[in-house]
Structure 1
Protein backbone atom coordinates (compact mmCIF):
# COMPACT_ATOMS: atom_id res chain seq x y z
CA UNK A 1 0.00 0.00 0.00
CA UNK A 2 1.22 3.48 -0.80
CA UNK A 3 1.88 5.82 2.10
CA UNK A 4 -1.14 8.02 1.35
CA UNK A 5 -4.05 7.12 -0.91
CA UNK A 6 -5.75 9.37 -3.43
CA UNK A 7 -9.40 10.35 -2.87
CA UNK A 8 -11.94 8.51 -4.97
CA UNK A 9 -13.29 10.49 -7.96
CA UNK A 10 -16.46 12.39 -7.21
CA UNK A 11 -17.49 13.59 -10.67
CA UNK A 12 -19.97 10.81 -11.33
CA UNK A 13 -23.68 10.26 -10.79
CA UNK A 14 -24.44 6.52 -11.14
CA UNK A 15 -22.67 3.48 -9.70
CA UNK A 16 -23.38 -0.24 -9.87
CA UNK A 17 -21.94 -2.54 -7.19
CA UNK A 18 -21.64 -6.18 -8.31
CA UNK A 19 -20.77 -8.89 -5.80
CA UNK A 20 -21.40 -12.59 -5.22
CA UNK A 21 -23.36 -12.67 -1.95
CA UNK A 22 -25.67 -10.75 0.35
CA UNK A 23 -23.38 -9.13 2.98
CA UNK A 24 -20.33 -8.78 0.66
CA UNK A 25 -20.85 -5.03 0.42
CA UNK A 26 -21.63 -4.58 4.09
CA UNK A 27 -18.22 -5.75 5.27
CA UNK A 28 -16.72 -2.30 4.76
CA UNK A 29 -17.97 -0.77 1.51
CA UNK A 30 -21.43 0.26 2.71
CA UNK A 31 -20.03 3.19 4.69
CA UNK A 32 -18.71 4.66 1.44
CA UNK A 33 -22.05 4.00 -0.26
CA UNK A 34 -23.85 5.94 2.49
CA UNK A 35 -21.54 8.90 1.91
CA UNK A 36 -22.17 8.81 -1.83
CA UNK A 37 -25.95 8.56 -1.62
CA UNK A 38 -25.95 11.43 0.89
CA UNK A 39 -24.29 13.47 -1.86
CA UNK A 40 -27.14 12.75 -4.25
CA UNK A 41 -25.49 9.95 -6.20
CA UNK A 42 -27.36 6.85 -7.30
CA UNK A 43 -25.95 3.46 -6.30
CA UNK A 44 -27.53 0.14 -7.30
CA UNK A 45 -26.62 -3.36 -6.11
CA UNK A 46 -26.39 -6.52 -8.21
CA UNK A 47 -25.94 -9.74 -6.22
CA UNK A 48 -25.06 -12.87 -8.18
CA UNK A 49 -26.56 -15.33 -5.66
CA UNK A 50 -29.07 -15.22 -2.83
CA UNK A 51 -26.53 -16.53 -0.32
CA UNK A 52 -28.55 -19.69 0.18
CA UNK A 53 -25.53 -21.81 1.15
CA UNK A 54 -24.22 -19.31 3.70
CA UNK A 55 -25.92 -20.47 6.90
CA UNK A 56 -25.00 -24.00 7.97
CA UNK A 57 -27.97 -24.35 10.32
CA UNK A 58 -30.56 -23.29 7.74
CA UNK A 59 -31.43 -25.20 4.58
CA UNK A 60 -30.92 -23.29 1.30
CA UNK A 61 -34.63 -23.07 0.49
CA UNK A 62 -35.17 -21.04 3.67
CA UNK A 63 -31.81 -19.28 3.85
CA UNK A 64 -32.04 -17.75 0.36
CA UNK A 65 -35.28 -15.76 0.89
CA UNK A 66 -34.15 -14.73 4.38
CA UNK A 67 -30.80 -13.45 3.15
CA UNK A 68 -32.45 -11.60 0.28
CA UNK A 69 -34.73 -9.80 2.77
CA UNK A 70 -31.76 -8.96 4.97
CA UNK A 71 -29.83 -7.56 1.99
CA UNK A 72 -32.71 -5.33 0.87
CA UNK A 73 -33.08 -3.96 4.40
CA UNK A 74 -29.31 -3.52 4.65
CA UNK A 75 -29.13 -1.61 1.37
CA UNK A 76 -31.98 0.71 2.42
CA UNK A 77 -29.99 1.81 5.48
CA UNK A 78 -27.35 3.36 3.19
CA UNK A 79 -29.77 4.85 0.67
CA UNK A 80 -29.84 2.05 -1.92
CA UNK A 81 -33.31 1.14 -3.19
CA UNK A 82 -32.42 -0.79 -6.33
CA UNK A 83 -31.20 -4.28 -5.39
CA UNK A 84 -31.21 -6.95 -8.09
CA UNK A 85 -30.46 -10.64 -7.61
CA UNK A 86 -29.28 -13.11 -10.21
CA UNK A 87 -29.86 -16.81 -9.71
CA UNK A 88 -26.38 -18.27 -9.80
CA UNK A 89 -25.92 -21.02 -7.24
CA UNK A 90 -24.21 -19.95 -4.04
CA UNK A 91 -20.79 -21.52 -3.57
CA UNK A 92 -20.41 -22.89 -7.08
CA UNK A 93 -20.47 -19.82 -9.34
CA UNK A 94 -18.49 -20.53 -12.48
CA UNK A 95 -16.44 -17.90 -14.27
CA UNK A 96 -17.30 -18.04 -17.94
CA UNK A 97 -19.37 -16.68 -20.80
CA UNK A 98 -22.73 -17.18 -19.07
CA UNK A 99 -21.66 -15.11 -16.05
CA UNK A 100 -20.06 -12.43 -18.21
CA UNK A 101 -23.26 -12.18 -20.23
CA UNK A 102 -25.44 -11.72 -17.13
CA UNK A 103 -23.14 -9.02 -15.79
CA UNK A 104 -22.78 -7.22 -19.12
CA UNK A 105 -26.57 -7.20 -19.49
CA UNK A 106 -26.91 -5.63 -16.04
CA UNK A 107 -24.29 -2.99 -16.80
CA UNK A 108 -26.18 -2.11 -19.96
CA UNK A 109 -29.42 -1.81 -18.00
CA UNK A 110 -28.00 0.35 -15.22
CA UNK A 111 -25.59 2.45 -17.33
CA UNK A 112 -23.16 3.23 -14.50
CA UNK A 113 -20.13 5.48 -14.64
CA UNK A 114 -18.53 3.67 -11.70
CA UNK A 115 -18.62 -0.11 -11.21
CA UNK A 116 -17.71 -1.59 -7.82
CA UNK A 117 -16.75 -5.14 -6.97
CA UNK A 118 -15.05 -7.14 -4.23
CA UNK A 119 -11.50 -8.45 -3.92
CA UNK A 120 -11.01 -11.27 -6.42
CA UNK A 121 -7.40 -12.06 -5.52
CA UNK A 122 -6.56 -15.58 -4.37
CA UNK A 123 -6.21 -14.44 -0.75
CA UNK A 124 -7.19 -11.86 1.83
CA UNK A 125 -4.08 -10.17 3.23
CA UNK A 126 -1.92 -12.88 1.71
CA UNK A 127 -3.07 -15.29 4.43
CA UNK A 128 -6.72 -16.29 4.16
CA UNK A 129 -7.86 -18.11 1.02
CA UNK A 130 -10.57 -16.23 -0.88
CA UNK A 131 -13.76 -18.01 -1.92
CA UNK A 132 -14.35 -19.33 -5.45
CA UNK A 133 -17.46 -17.13 -5.76
CA UNK A 134 -15.57 -13.92 -4.96
CA UNK A 135 -12.84 -14.80 -7.40
CA UNK A 136 -15.23 -15.75 -10.20
CA UNK A 137 -17.53 -12.74 -9.86
CA UNK A 138 -14.78 -10.17 -9.43
CA UNK A 139 -12.88 -11.35 -12.48
CA UNK A 140 -16.07 -11.53 -14.51
CA UNK A 141 -16.90 -7.94 -13.55
CA UNK A 142 -13.55 -6.77 -14.90
CA UNK A 143 -14.29 -8.45 -18.23
CA UNK A 144 -18.02 -7.68 -18.41
CA UNK A 145 -17.42 -3.94 -18.30
CA UNK A 146 -15.64 -4.23 -21.63
CA UNK A 147 -18.23 -6.68 -22.94
CA UNK A 148 -21.03 -4.23 -22.11
CA UNK A 149 -19.57 -1.60 -24.41
CA UNK A 150 -19.01 -3.86 -27.40
CA UNK A 151 -22.10 -4.18 -29.57
CA UNK A 152 -20.78 -7.38 -31.18
CA UNK A 153 -20.50 -9.19 -27.84
CA UNK A 154 -23.81 -10.41 -26.40
CA UNK A 155 -25.84 -8.51 -29.03
CA UNK A 156 -29.13 -10.05 -27.85
CA UNK A 157 -29.38 -8.41 -24.41
CA UNK A 158 -32.45 -6.25 -23.81
CA UNK A 159 -30.50 -3.04 -23.29
CA UNK A 160 -28.22 -1.33 -25.79
CA UNK A 161 -24.42 -1.42 -25.36
CA UNK A 162 -23.01 0.87 -22.68
CA UNK A 163 -19.43 2.08 -22.92
CA UNK A 164 -19.81 4.79 -20.30
CA UNK A 165 -18.08 3.06 -17.38
CA UNK A 166 -15.20 5.35 -16.44
CA UNK A 167 -13.76 3.39 -13.51
CA UNK A 168 -13.88 -0.02 -11.88
CA UNK A 169 -13.21 0.09 -8.13
CA UNK A 170 -12.25 -3.04 -6.22
CA UNK A 171 -12.82 -2.99 -2.46
CA UNK A 172 -11.15 -5.27 0.07
CA UNK A 173 -7.92 -5.51 -1.91
CA UNK A 174 -4.45 -5.58 -0.37
CA UNK A 175 -3.21 -3.06 -2.94
CA UNK A 176 -5.57 -0.07 -2.81
CA UNK A 177 -4.86 3.16 -4.65
CA UNK A 178 -7.80 5.36 -3.54
CA UNK A 179 -10.07 5.89 -0.56
CA UNK A 180 -13.33 7.52 0.52
CA UNK A 181 -13.71 9.33 3.83
CA UNK A 182 -16.10 7.17 5.87
CA UNK A 183 -16.58 9.58 8.78
CA UNK A 184 -20.18 10.45 7.96
CA UNK A 185 -21.19 7.05 6.64
CA UNK A 186 -19.57 4.76 9.18
CA UNK A 187 -22.46 4.57 11.65
CA UNK A 188 -24.87 3.64 8.87
CA UNK A 189 -22.32 1.15 7.59
CA UNK A 190 -22.46 -0.56 10.98
CA UNK A 191 -26.26 -0.53 11.00
CA UNK A 192 -26.27 -1.85 7.45
CA UNK A 193 -24.19 -4.86 8.45
CA UNK A 194 -26.43 -5.40 11.48
CA UNK A 195 -29.39 -6.01 9.16
CA UNK A 196 -27.70 -9.35 8.36
CA UNK A 197 -28.60 -10.50 11.85
CA UNK A 198 -29.43 -14.13 11.03
CA UNK A 199 -26.15 -14.49 9.16
CA UNK A 200 -24.11 -12.87 11.95
CA UNK A 201 -25.78 -14.94 14.67
CA UNK A 202 -24.90 -18.10 12.76
CA UNK A 203 -21.34 -16.88 12.26
CA UNK A 204 -20.37 -15.87 15.79
CA UNK A 205 -21.49 -16.09 19.41
CA UNK A 206 -20.44 -12.48 19.95
CA UNK A 207 -23.14 -9.85 20.40
CA UNK A 208 -24.04 -8.80 16.81
CA UNK A 209 -23.69 -5.09 17.41
CA UNK A 210 -20.37 -5.49 19.20
CA UNK A 211 -19.16 -7.73 16.38
CA UNK A 212 -20.23 -5.34 13.60
CA UNK A 213 -19.02 -2.19 15.30
CA UNK A 214 -15.62 -3.52 16.32
CA UNK A 215 -15.03 -5.03 12.90
CA UNK A 216 -16.04 -2.05 10.75
CA UNK A 217 -14.64 0.66 12.99
CA UNK A 218 -11.39 -1.27 13.18
CA UNK A 219 -11.22 -1.61 9.38
CA UNK A 220 -11.95 2.09 8.91
CA UNK A 221 -9.29 3.18 11.43
CA UNK A 222 -6.66 0.89 9.94
CA UNK A 223 -7.38 2.00 6.39
CA UNK A 224 -7.49 5.62 7.52
CA UNK A 225 -3.81 5.50 8.45
CA UNK A 226 -3.19 5.86 4.72
CA UNK A 227 -5.81 8.58 4.24
CA UNK A 228 -4.91 11.42 6.56
CA UNK A 229 -5.94 9.42 9.64
CA UNK A 230 -9.60 9.75 8.72
CA UNK A 231 -11.88 6.68 8.86
CA UNK A 232 -11.76 5.34 5.32
CA UNK A 233 -12.92 2.74 2.86
CA UNK A 234 -10.22 1.83 0.35
CA UNK A 235 -10.35 0.75 -3.30
CA UNK A 236 -8.06 -0.23 -6.11
CA UNK A 237 -9.20 2.00 -8.95
CA UNK A 238 -8.93 0.95 -12.58
CA UNK A 239 -9.59 3.87 -14.98
CA UNK A 240 -11.02 3.09 -18.40
Structure 2
Protein backbone atom coordinates (compact mmCIF):
# COMPACT_ATOMS: atom_id res chain seq x y z
CA UNK A 1 0.00 0.00 0.00
CA UNK A 2 2.67 2.45 -1.12
CA UNK A 3 2.17 6.19 -1.54
CA UNK A 4 5.23 6.48 -3.76
CA UNK A 5 3.29 5.94 -7.00
CA UNK A 6 3.43 9.59 -7.98
CA UNK A 7 7.02 9.27 -9.16
CA UNK A 8 10.28 10.86 -7.95
CA UNK A 9 9.45 13.61 -5.46
CA UNK A 10 12.22 13.34 -2.89
CA UNK A 11 14.05 16.51 -1.94
CA UNK A 12 17.62 15.92 -3.00
CA UNK A 13 20.39 17.06 -0.73
CA UNK A 14 23.64 18.54 -2.02
CA UNK A 15 26.56 16.19 -2.45
CA UNK A 16 27.07 12.69 -3.76
CA UNK A 17 25.48 9.55 -2.38
CA UNK A 18 27.94 7.13 -0.79
CA UNK A 19 27.96 3.38 -1.42
CA UNK A 20 26.13 1.30 1.17
CA UNK A 21 28.32 -0.72 3.56
CA UNK A 22 29.12 -4.22 2.36
CA UNK A 23 30.78 -5.81 5.40
CA UNK A 24 27.72 -7.62 6.71
CA UNK A 25 26.06 -11.02 6.28
CA UNK A 26 22.43 -10.73 7.50
CA UNK A 27 19.73 -8.13 6.96
CA UNK A 28 16.17 -7.78 8.19
CA UNK A 29 13.62 -5.68 6.30
CA UNK A 30 10.71 -4.34 8.38
CA UNK A 31 7.93 -2.53 6.50
CA UNK A 32 4.22 -1.92 6.89
CA UNK A 33 2.61 -3.52 3.82
CA UNK A 34 3.09 -5.98 0.98
CA UNK A 35 4.69 -4.07 -1.93
CA UNK A 36 6.33 -1.40 0.29
CA UNK A 37 9.88 -2.55 -0.38
CA UNK A 38 9.17 -3.47 -3.99
CA UNK A 39 8.51 0.18 -4.80
CA UNK A 40 12.23 0.85 -5.11
CA UNK A 41 14.20 -1.44 -2.79
CA UNK A 42 14.16 -4.84 -4.47
CA UNK A 43 17.06 -4.18 -6.84
CA UNK A 44 19.29 -3.70 -3.80
CA UNK A 45 17.96 -6.88 -2.17
CA UNK A 46 18.69 -8.83 -5.37
CA UNK A 47 22.28 -7.57 -5.33
CA UNK A 48 22.66 -8.52 -1.67
CA UNK A 49 21.34 -12.05 -2.07
CA UNK A 50 23.48 -12.50 -5.20
CA UNK A 51 26.47 -11.79 -2.97
CA UNK A 52 25.43 -14.58 -0.61
CA UNK A 53 23.89 -12.40 2.07
CA UNK A 54 20.78 -13.48 3.96
CA UNK A 55 17.73 -11.18 3.91
CA UNK A 56 14.50 -11.70 5.88
CA UNK A 57 11.27 -9.75 5.38
CA UNK A 58 9.00 -8.78 8.28
CA UNK A 59 5.70 -7.04 7.48
CA UNK A 60 3.54 -5.35 10.08
CA UNK A 61 0.30 -6.04 8.15
CA UNK A 62 -0.99 -8.20 5.32
CA UNK A 63 -2.17 -5.16 3.36
CA UNK A 64 -5.80 -6.15 3.80
CA UNK A 65 -7.15 -2.59 3.61
CA UNK A 66 -5.22 -1.66 0.50
CA UNK A 67 -7.71 -2.47 -2.26
CA UNK A 68 -11.09 -0.75 -2.17
CA UNK A 69 -12.82 -3.43 -4.26
CA UNK A 70 -11.76 -6.35 -2.04
CA UNK A 71 -12.96 -7.05 1.48
CA UNK A 72 -10.09 -7.44 3.97
CA UNK A 73 -10.69 -11.16 4.54
CA UNK A 74 -10.40 -11.75 0.79
CA UNK A 75 -7.58 -9.30 0.21
CA UNK A 76 -5.22 -10.42 2.99
CA UNK A 77 -4.43 -13.96 1.71
CA UNK A 78 -4.01 -12.67 -1.84
CA UNK A 79 -1.55 -10.00 -0.83
CA UNK A 80 0.32 -12.36 1.47
CA UNK A 81 0.77 -14.85 -1.37
CA UNK A 82 1.90 -12.09 -3.72
CA UNK A 83 4.43 -10.85 -1.16
CA UNK A 84 5.93 -14.31 -0.71
CA UNK A 85 6.19 -14.75 -4.49
CA UNK A 86 7.67 -11.27 -4.82
CA UNK A 87 10.32 -12.02 -2.20
CA UNK A 88 11.34 -15.25 -3.92
CA UNK A 89 12.11 -13.36 -7.13
CA UNK A 90 14.94 -11.51 -5.35
CA UNK A 91 16.22 -14.47 -3.35
CA UNK A 92 14.31 -14.01 -0.07
CA UNK A 93 12.68 -17.15 1.34
CA UNK A 94 11.70 -16.01 4.86
CA UNK A 95 8.69 -13.67 5.06
CA UNK A 96 6.94 -13.03 8.38
CA UNK A 97 3.74 -11.10 9.17
CA UNK A 98 3.14 -9.44 12.53
CA UNK A 99 -0.65 -9.12 12.01
CA UNK A 100 -1.12 -5.49 12.95
CA UNK A 101 -4.24 -4.00 11.31
CA UNK A 102 -3.63 -2.41 7.94
CA UNK A 103 -4.35 1.31 7.86
CA UNK A 104 -4.37 1.80 11.63
CA UNK A 105 -0.89 0.68 12.67
CA UNK A 106 0.05 2.58 15.80
CA UNK A 107 3.53 3.60 16.85
CA UNK A 108 4.08 2.42 20.41
CA UNK A 109 5.58 -0.22 22.62
CA UNK A 110 3.58 -3.09 21.11
CA UNK A 111 4.93 -2.40 17.64
CA UNK A 112 8.45 -1.76 18.95
CA UNK A 113 8.36 -5.04 20.87
CA UNK A 114 7.18 -7.04 17.85
CA UNK A 115 9.94 -5.65 15.65
CA UNK A 116 12.56 -6.00 18.40
CA UNK A 117 11.53 -9.65 18.78
CA UNK A 118 12.04 -10.19 15.04
CA UNK A 119 15.48 -8.59 15.26
CA UNK A 120 16.38 -10.88 18.16
CA UNK A 121 15.14 -13.93 16.23
CA UNK A 122 17.12 -13.18 13.09
CA UNK A 123 20.12 -11.27 14.51
CA UNK A 124 20.84 -8.97 11.56
CA UNK A 125 23.68 -6.52 11.20
CA UNK A 126 21.66 -4.36 8.79
CA UNK A 127 18.01 -3.42 9.33
CA UNK A 128 16.05 -1.84 6.47
CA UNK A 129 12.76 0.01 6.72
CA UNK A 130 10.68 2.48 4.72
CA UNK A 131 10.44 6.26 4.97
CA UNK A 132 9.54 7.30 8.52
CA UNK A 133 9.18 10.99 7.67
CA UNK A 134 5.93 12.91 7.26
CA UNK A 135 6.38 13.38 3.50
CA UNK A 136 8.12 11.78 0.54
CA UNK A 137 9.59 15.23 -0.10
CA UNK A 138 7.76 18.51 -0.62
CA UNK A 139 4.01 18.07 -0.12
CA UNK A 140 3.71 14.37 -1.03
CA UNK A 141 2.23 13.20 2.29
CA UNK A 142 3.28 9.85 3.75
CA UNK A 143 0.82 7.42 5.38
CA UNK A 144 0.54 6.83 9.14
CA UNK A 145 1.43 3.13 8.76
CA UNK A 146 4.72 3.90 7.02
CA UNK A 147 5.63 6.54 9.58
CA UNK A 148 4.75 4.29 12.53
CA UNK A 149 6.65 1.25 11.26
CA UNK A 150 9.65 3.28 10.15
CA UNK A 151 10.00 5.04 13.48
CA UNK A 152 9.35 1.86 15.46
CA UNK A 153 12.03 0.03 13.48
CA UNK A 154 14.61 2.72 14.17
CA UNK A 155 13.80 2.43 17.87
CA UNK A 156 13.55 -1.37 17.90
CA UNK A 157 17.12 -1.68 16.63
CA UNK A 158 18.19 -0.35 20.03
CA UNK A 159 15.43 -2.10 21.99
CA UNK A 160 16.63 -5.46 20.64
CA UNK A 161 19.97 -5.06 22.42
CA UNK A 162 18.66 -4.02 25.83
CA UNK A 163 17.60 -6.91 28.06
CA UNK A 164 15.75 -4.58 30.43
CA UNK A 165 13.42 -3.35 27.69
CA UNK A 166 10.76 -5.99 26.95
CA UNK A 167 12.15 -8.53 29.45
CA UNK A 168 9.33 -10.87 28.45
CA UNK A 169 11.23 -11.54 25.24
CA UNK A 170 14.03 -13.13 27.23
CA UNK A 171 11.45 -15.32 28.95
CA UNK A 172 10.37 -16.40 25.44
CA UNK A 173 13.93 -17.44 24.63
CA UNK A 174 14.85 -14.32 22.64
CA UNK A 175 18.16 -13.15 24.07
CA UNK A 176 19.22 -9.54 23.41
CA UNK A 177 20.92 -8.80 20.09
CA UNK A 178 23.09 -5.69 20.04
CA UNK A 179 24.61 -6.49 16.68
CA UNK A 180 22.59 -4.09 14.50
CA UNK A 181 25.20 -1.77 12.99
CA UNK A 182 22.98 0.28 10.68
CA UNK A 183 19.33 1.05 9.99
CA UNK A 184 18.78 1.97 6.32
CA UNK A 185 15.64 3.86 5.35
CA UNK A 186 14.41 3.25 1.80
CA UNK A 187 12.35 5.93 0.08
CA UNK A 188 13.68 8.68 2.34
CA UNK A 189 13.52 12.24 1.01
CA UNK A 190 16.95 12.74 2.61
CA UNK A 191 19.07 9.86 1.22
CA UNK A 192 22.75 9.53 2.10
CA UNK A 193 23.76 6.21 0.50
CA UNK A 194 22.92 4.09 -2.53
CA UNK A 195 23.26 0.68 -4.19
CA UNK A 196 23.83 0.15 -7.92
CA UNK A 197 20.39 -0.82 -9.25
CA UNK A 198 21.58 -2.14 -12.60
CA UNK A 199 22.31 -5.81 -11.77
CA UNK A 200 19.02 -6.30 -9.93
CA UNK A 201 16.69 -4.11 -11.98
CA UNK A 202 15.06 -6.83 -14.09
CA UNK A 203 14.32 -8.89 -10.98
CA UNK A 204 13.07 -5.77 -9.22
CA UNK A 205 10.56 -5.23 -12.03
CA UNK A 206 9.43 -8.86 -11.83
CA UNK A 207 9.25 -8.63 -8.04
CA UNK A 208 6.95 -5.60 -8.17
CA UNK A 209 4.89 -7.29 -10.89
CA UNK A 210 4.10 -10.12 -8.47
CA UNK A 211 1.83 -7.62 -6.67
CA UNK A 212 -0.51 -7.81 -9.64
CA UNK A 213 -3.77 -7.68 -7.65
CA UNK A 214 -2.74 -4.38 -6.11
CA UNK A 215 -1.26 -2.90 -9.28
CA UNK A 216 -4.28 -3.74 -11.43
CA UNK A 217 -6.50 -2.01 -8.87
CA UNK A 218 -4.16 0.97 -8.80
CA UNK A 219 -3.74 1.77 -12.50
CA UNK A 220 -5.23 1.06 -15.93
CA UNK A 221 -1.73 1.12 -17.40
CA UNK A 222 -0.13 -2.13 -18.54
CA UNK A 223 1.34 -3.56 -15.30
CA UNK A 224 4.80 -4.26 -16.71
CA UNK A 225 5.04 -0.85 -18.36
CA UNK A 226 3.94 0.77 -15.11
CA UNK A 227 6.42 -1.18 -12.93
CA UNK A 228 9.35 -0.68 -15.27
CA UNK A 229 8.72 3.05 -15.71
CA UNK A 230 8.34 3.62 -11.98
CA UNK A 231 11.49 1.74 -10.95
CA UNK A 232 13.78 2.88 -13.73
CA UNK A 233 12.58 6.46 -13.31
CA UNK A 234 13.56 6.54 -9.64
CA UNK A 235 16.87 4.80 -10.34
CA UNK A 236 17.76 7.27 -13.07
CA UNK A 237 16.87 10.22 -10.84
CA UNK A 238 19.22 8.88 -8.16
CA UNK A 239 22.04 8.45 -10.67
CA UNK A 240 22.61 12.22 -10.68
CA UNK A 241 24.14 11.87 -7.21
CA UNK A 242 25.75 8.46 -7.69
CA UNK A 243 28.26 8.99 -10.44
CA UNK A 244 25.74 8.50 -13.24
CA UNK A 245 24.89 4.96 -12.05
CA UNK A 246 21.17 4.11 -11.65
CA UNK A 247 20.65 3.48 -7.96
CA UNK A 248 18.44 2.52 -5.05
CA UNK A 249 18.79 5.14 -2.31
CA UNK A 250 18.80 4.87 1.47
CA UNK A 251 19.15 7.20 4.42
CA UNK A 252 21.65 5.38 6.62
CA UNK A 253 21.63 5.62 10.41
CA UNK A 254 24.78 4.04 11.93
CA UNK A 255 24.52 2.58 15.42
Distance 1:77 1:139 in 2: 28
Query: Which sections of structure 2, spanning at least 5 residues, go unmatched?
Result: 1-12
Please state whether the residue corresponding to 1:206 is helix, strand or coil.
coil
The alpha carbon displacement at 1:128 in A equals 1.2
Residues 2 and 177 in structure 1, CA contact (< 8 A), matched pair in contact too: no
Give the one of 22, 25, 30 matched to 2:37.
25
The residue that corresponds to 1:36 in the other structure is: 48
The residue that corresponds to 1:229 in the other structure is: 244
Distance 1:163 1:176 in 2: 25
Residues 78 and 192 in structure 1, CA contact (< 8 A), matched pair in contact too: yes
Q: Please state if 1:195 is matched with 2:210.
A: yes
Q: Please state if 1:111 is matched with 2:123.
A: yes
Distance 1:160 1:2 in 2: 41
Distance 1:125 1:175 in 2: 8
Give the one of 179, 195, 203 matched to 1:164.
179
Q: Deviations over 1:44-63 (max 9, x none)?
A: 00000000000100000000
Distance 1:34 1:193 in 2: 13
Give the one of 65, 81, 90 matched to 2:102.
90
Distance 2:200 2:87 in 1: 13
Q: Deviations over 1:164-186 (max 9, x none)?
A: 00000001011111000111001
Distance 1:128 1:178 in 2: 22
Equivalent runs, 1:169-188 vs 2, <5 Å: 169-188=184-203
Residues 111 and 164 in structure 1, CA contact (< 8 A), matched pair in contact too: yes
Please state whether the residue corresponding to 1:188 is helix, strand or coil.
helix
Q: Please state if 1:7 is matched with 2:19.
A: yes
Structure 1 runs of 4+ off > 3 angstroms? none
Equivalent runs, 1:209-228 vs 2, <5 Å: 209-228=224-243
Give the alignment's TM-score, normalised by structure 2: 0.93
Distance 1:238 1:131 in 2: 21
Equivalent runs, 1:119-138 vs 2, <5 Å: 119-138=131-150
Q: Please state if 1:66 is matched with 2:78.
A: yes
The residue that corresponds to 1:207 in the other structure is: 222
Distance 2:143 2:15 in 1: 29
Give the alignment's TM-score, normalised by structure 1: 0.99
Query: Which sections of structure 1, spanning at least 5 residues, go unmatched?
Result: none
Q: Please state if 1:145 is matched with 2:160.
A: no
Please state whether the residue corresponding to 1:103 is helix, strand or coil.
helix
